[in-house]
A and B are shown apart, each in its own frame.
Chain A
């Protein structure tokens, strides 16, 4: 409070020394309102200039805001909203398109796979059928050859057995010749062999 009192006293002193024409502080026109100038916001002499300029400046500011600035901001905001809206719509559309494409792709893939499997199965069946046919043919061939071989063996055996009689007759003849010293009668040998055999 001392500071304020001091300032007030100082102001009063200055007003007293400089007289009514002093350009002190708030007042251009001297000391008659000096008492109220201690607190400038309550000094009526300060009202008019502030009101005039406030009306002027605020009026112009209001006009600028109402006519230019606020419509501009509003249009910026609505533009952004619509841009976001359209972008969202487009992206949704693209997403739907991508999903349908993916579904189509899946379907194609499935069909192709099924076809590939069918082809594979058919090829496998054909291959196994061919193999079976060849096996059957080879089997037949082998059994035919086996039969021929068997026949050959049997023929050879029969032939060999037929020769055995002759050999036995020859051997018996030569044994008799060695024992008797004269050639044996082939007819008697054959008869004797016939008798042995029966």
Chain B
């Protein structure tokens, strides 16, 4: 009944390359599963290229248009060059989050290293693209226009700190949401077992059971919402790289 047991890595195939532990773990297996889920939705379901779409194709088209409109509205038309990345990110996180909710599976996004890798990649993309696109004018990001100089002395450090905290907040938000949700589900489920085995207290066992069901519904929402939030914030940060002047 260890609530963190579900986050443990199992090395299914130990591999060491150049002194790096590249073992194929259960985490990698579920990453692969999530990626295959995205491929099944976006490639197998759209293979017929039907004029009148079936269910799978309609879902794929809806996802495409949803992400496309999100990118266009938050990052502008120029942001559409990042659309494939944002789409892959969103679809991968969404499917991984949803797969993680199935009992006995592994939640890829409940590992801080995974979410931080995504966040760090997003922020480095923002920084690199910002400098490549605007040169040193990208630093105007930290100097909001139309603000008097004395205020800038205070504002610029705040802007810099907020920018630097972005990868942390971006990664911790997703990680903590998934982690907390899964632990809560596990603990409530554990209560059911403990109460059921506790003689007369078994009468109370349905209460945490219902709580588990309600929590599961909430977690379903969180799984979709956090994938969306991650994608939207990615778009917002990319928008800063595209249009650094506020």
Kindly list chain A residues whose C-beta atoms are within 8 Å of the C-beta of B22.
48-49, 52-53
Q: Which of B37-45, B127-135, B227-235 contacts A (4 or more CB under 8 A)?
A: B37-45
Residue of A nearest to B10 (CB): A26
Considering only residues 1-49 of chain A, those with a C-beta below 8 Å from chain B are 3-4, 6-8, 11, 25-26, 28, 37-43, 45-49
Set B43, B85, B112, B117: member contacting A69, Cβ < 8 A: B43
B46 contacts the other chain (CB 8 A): yes
A68 at interface by CB-CB < 8 Å: yes
- Which residues of chain A come closer than 8 Å to B187, judged between CB atoms? 3
Q: Which residue of B lies closest to A75 (CB)?
A: B49
Q: How far is the CA of A4 from the CA of B35 in the complex (A)?
A: 33
Task: Report, as a range, how many residues of chain B touch the other chain.
Answer: 35 or more
Report Cα–Cα, A8/B5, bound state, in Å: 11
A106 in contact (CB, < 8 A): no
- Point out which of B28, B50, B65 has the most chain A C-beta atoms below 10 A from its C-beta: B28
Asked if B165 CB lies within 8 Å of chain A CBs, one says: no
Residues of chain B from 13 to 29 with CB closer than 8 A to chain A in the complex: 14, 17, 20-25, 27-28
Q: Mark A107-149, 1 if CB is under 8 A from B, else 0.
A: 0000000000000000000000000000000000000000000
- Structural contact, B39 and A64, CB atoms closer than 8 A: yes
Interface-facing stretch out of A54-62, A151-159, A163-171, A187-195: A54-62
Contacts of B53 in A (CB 8 A): 76
Cross-chain contact A65 with B87 (CB below 8 angstroms):
yes
7 A-B pairs in the complex with CB atoms less than 8 angstroms apart: A3-B2, A25-B8, A28-B11, A46-B25, A58-B31, A68-B43, A73-B64
